[in-house]
Amino acid sequence: MMVAVTGIILIVFVIGHLLGNLQIFLGPDWINGYSQHLRDLGPLLWVIRLFLLAAVGIHIYVTIQLAIENRRARPQAYVDREYVKATLASRHMVTSGLIVLAFIIYHIAHFTVRVTDPRFALLKADPLGHYDVYSMMVYGFQNYYVSGFYVLGLFLLALHLSHGSSSFFQSLGFNDKKLTPRLAVAGRIFAWLLFIGYTSIPVAILTGVVKPAQQL
């Protein structure tokens, strides 16, 4: 149950975060204004961030505990058969979850605390006096290694979510033979739509579709 509850919290955040980030395609005023609204929350913004990090930590911890308990409870022969049948995502849920956690920590250091790229400190405010998040994202993703790491993290997140969609309803006690498989398929489609949405940003920047609003 705890895995499902924390999973819902994180999925809601992932959707909201994507909708905010996609405003980069609408121009600097949109995403810079969106970012300013978040900063106007003041200390509450960091309370939300810490709450989300706690949800991630609990989600991973409980997942690891369940994986250990399931491994101990299954006979060896059963484990071997299930391992062969299991998907790539389900076999590596814990590993992918830990890598996604590392990805989240780097993301906070990169775009939130802004300690990984000294150029971010050189950016001037936009005409409305807002921090130029638009140009920050462009310069950040112009680095092929950074964009590659983001795509890898998002790929593992999509794998994690695609498997989670199958186990999510079972953990809530919902196990309708007809509806549950359909919901699982819808969940997998949703996971890969998130992947496409998020990766469209670094791809657009690397291909020159989105360019910085100011030159450094």
User: What pLDDT digit, counting tens, does each position of 63-82 carry?
Assistant: 778 777 766 766 554 444 44
Hey, what CATH topology would domain 2-206 get?
Answer: 3 helical TM bundles of succinate and fumarate reductases (1.20.1300)
- ∠ CA 37-39-43 to the nearest 5 degrees? 130
Calculate the CA dihedral of residues 78, 81, 87, 92 and round it to 10 degrees.
50
Place of tokens 């409305």: 128
User: What pLDDT digit, counting tens, does each position of 2-47 carry?
Assistant: 878 888 898 999 999 999 999 999 999 999 999 999 999 999 999 9
146: left (phi over 0), alpha (psi -120 to 50) or beta: alpha
Burial class (CB in 10 A: 0-12, 13-18, 19+), 120: buried
Q: What is the mean pLDDT of the chain?
A: 84
* pLDDT above 90 coverage of the chain, percent: 46
User: What pLDDT digit, counting tens, does each position of 168-184 carry?
Assistant: 666 666 666 777 778 78
The pLDDT assigned to 92 comes to 66
pTM of the model: 0.85
The answer on pLDDT for 56 being more than 70 is: yes
- ∠ CA 88-145-29 to the nearest 5 degrees? 105
- ∠ CA 47-118-13 to the nearest 5 degrees? 30
* Distance separating alpha carbons of residues 184 and 207, to the nearest angstrom: 34
The pLDDT assigned to 79 comes to 47
User: What pLDDT digit, counting tens, does each position of 116-160 carry?
Assistant: 889 999 999 998 899 999 999 999 999 999 999 999 989 988 988
